[in-house]
Chains A and B, each alone.
Chain A
Amino acid sequence: CNRNDKQYVGFATLPNQVHRKSVKKGFDFTLMVAGESGLGKSTLVNSLFLTDLYKDRKLLNAEERINQTVEITKHTVDIEEKGVKLKLTIVDTPGFGDAVNNNECWKPITDYIDQQFEQYFRDESGLNRKNILDNRVHCCLYFIPPFGHGLRPVDVEFMKALHEKVNIVPLISKADCLTPNEVKKLKDRVRDEIEHFGIKVYQFPECDSDEEEEFKQMDKELKECTPFAVIGSNTVVEARGQRVRGRLYPWGIVEVENQSHCDFVKLRNMLIRSHMHDLKDVTCDVHYENYRAHCIQEMTSKLAQDNRTDSPLPILPLPTPDVETERLIKMKDEEVQNNHH
Chain B
Amino acid sequence: MKNLEGYVGFANLPNQVYRKSVKRGFEFTLMVVGESGLGKSTLINSLFLTDLYSKDYPGPSQRIKKTVQVEQSKVLIKEGGVQLTLTIVDTPGFGDAVDNSNCWQPVINYIDSKFEDFLNAESRVNRRQMPDNRVHCCLYFIAPSGHGLKPLDIEFMKRLHDKVNVIPLIAKADTLTPEECQLFKKQIMKEIQEHKIKIYEFPDTEDDEDSKLIRKIKEKMPLAVVGSNVVIEVNGRKVRGRQYPWGVAEVENGEHCDFTVLRNMLIRTHMQDLKDVTNNVHYENYRSKKLAAVTCNGVDATKNKGQLTKSPLAQMEEERREHVMKMKKMETEMEQVFEMKVKEKKQKLKDSEAELERRHEQMKKNLEAQYKELEEKRHQFEEEKANWETQQRILEQQKLDASKTMEKNKKKGKIF
Contacts and interface: CB of A to CB of B under 8 A. Distances in A.
A58 interface: no
Interface stretch (B19-27, B190-198, B394-402): B19-27
A17 B203 CA distance: 13
A336 B272 contact: no
A12 B317 contact: no
A122 B313 contact: yes
Contacts of A126: 314, 317
B114 to A, nearest CB: 18
Given A10-B267, A19-B17, A276-B16, A296 B125 contact: yes
A1 B11 contact: no
A22 to B, nearest CB: 5
Contacts of B337: 336
Contacts of B75: 1, 3
Interface in B10-62: 10-23, 26, 28, 47-50
A268 B77 contact: no
Given A1-B75, A13-B268, A312-B319, A130 B284 contact: yes
On chain B, which size bracket covers the interface?
35 or more
B278 interface: no
Nearest to B301: A309
A102 interface: no
Contacts of A18: 17-18, 21, 272
B374 interface: no
A12 B82 contact: yes
Contact of A5 (B79, B269, B338): B79
B369 interface: no
Interface string A164-197: 0000000000000000000000000000000000
A275 B10 CA distance: 10
A12 B48 contact: no
A300 interface: yes
A4 B284 CA distance: 35
Contact of A15 (B5, B18, B126): B18
Interface string B269-295: 111110010001000100110011000
A303 B312 CA distance: 10
Contacts of B316: 312, 314, 316
B84 interface: yes
Contacts of B272: 14, 17-18, 21
Contacts of B221: none
Nearest to A81: B11
A27 B10 contact: yes
A62 interface: no
Contacts of A86: 10, 13
B1 to A, nearest CB: 5
Contact of B22 (A15, A274, A309): A15
Given A125-B313, A277-B17, 12 more contacts: A11-B84, A15-B22, A19-B18, A27-B13, A81-B11, A125-B314, A127-B287, A128-B288, A272-B8, A277-B13, A289-B126, A329-B331
26 contacts: A3-B50, A3-B75, A5-B77, A11-B79, A11-B82, A12-B80, A12-B81, A18-B18, A18-B272, A22-B13, A29-B10, A79-B4, A84-B10, A122-B317, A127-B317, A129-B284, A276-B10, A281-B20, A289-B126, A292-B125, A296-B125, A299-B312, A303-B312, A309-B299, A312-B312, A333-B334
Interface of A: 1-19, 21-23, 27, 29, 48-51, 77-86, 121-122, 125-130, 208, 268-269, 272-278, 281, 285, 289, 292-293, 296-297, 299-300, 303, 309-312, 314, 316, 318, 322, 325, 329, 332-333, 336, 339-340
**Shortest beta-carbon contacts, A-B, top 5:** A12-B80, A125-B313, A17-B272, A82-B11, A277-B16
